[in-house]
Structure 1
Amino acid sequence: MGKKIVGSPEAWEEGSLGREEEFVRVSKNVDDAALNEAGGLQPISIRLQKSLIEDFKMIADINGIGYQPLIRQVLKRFADSEKRRILREKSADMRALDDDNHHDPDKGEGKKAYG
């Protein structure tokens, strides 16, 4: 196999190209609707305490990300955790109901027919 071209996709992915600060600029032609669609995002409006926002900004800064992506991560983690908890509870309820049905003497199990 031949030598990789310096401008290859691999060079971009590994960071040997494109990460120098001199080449960074904010795009002025951002299509917010297309960006939201591509990311599966839906803009919402929410009111939060100023101190909570400041806490998120501080935590985000320490982790080198923006505070809005951090809030998305927190909400996603919470929703995933709650879904798992609910599914575990429902599953336990179903198992308990199934166990009750299999061991219920009134359901005919364990009764002997005498003749």
Structure 2
Amino acid sequence: MAKRKIRGTEEAWETGELGRDEKYVEVADINESTIDEALELQMISIRLQKSLIEDFKLIAKINGIGYQTLMRQILKRFADSETKRLLRECVRAEEQEAKEQRQMEEIEESRKRA
């Protein structure tokens, strides 16, 4: 009796045709610190206002995620946007400095010609 082959397409994984048969499930022998390390997560302690935490819990519940996950996402978004903003400021400052340098060189050249 030939076994039916399942094509390994993305659709087969998404529909559950592949990867959801419980007879192939086994518990992975891995501890929490290994997962944290693989995801580059670090436990921290932070004190926040209770009302802020409650707001995060409500927003997270509406979005169907945990509030700590939501907080991590928000912090990541903030850090990314601040990094981009700071880099843009640095680029603008360097461009301005280069422009001023060119102007100084042009003034110097015009003085030499005069």
**TM-score with structure 2 setting the length:** 0.74
Partner of 1:83: 83
Partner of 1:22: none
Contact 1:57 1:67 in 2 (8 A): yes
Cα deviations across residues 62-103 of structure 1 (Å, max 9, x unaligned)? Answer: 111111110000000100111011111111111001000001
The equivalent residue for 2:6 is: 4
The structure carrying a bigger helix percent of its residues is: 2
Structure 1 residue runs of 4 or more that deviate by more than 6 Å after TM superposition: none
In structure 2, the gaps of 5 or more residues are 21-26
1:39-50 matches, within 5 Å, as: 39-50=39-50
* C-alpha RMSD of the superposition: 2.8
Paired residue total: 102
Say whether residues 1:72 and 2:72 are aligned partners. yes
- TM-score by length of structure 1 reads 0.73
What is the match of residue 101 of structure 1?
101
Q: Deviations over 1:9-28 (max 9, x none)?
A: 8577414264xxxxxxxx8x
Offset of residue 31 of structure 1: 1.3
Within 2, Cα distance between the matches of 1:49 and 1:12? 46
Rounded to whole Å, the distance in 2 between the matches of 1:105 and 1:10 is: 60
What's the offset of the Cα at 1:3?
Answer: 4.1
Q: Which amino acid counterpart does residue 61 of structure 2 have in structure 1?
A: D
Shift of 1:45: 0.5
- Which residue number in structure 2 is paired with residue 35 of structure 1? 35
One-letter code of the match for 2:73? Q
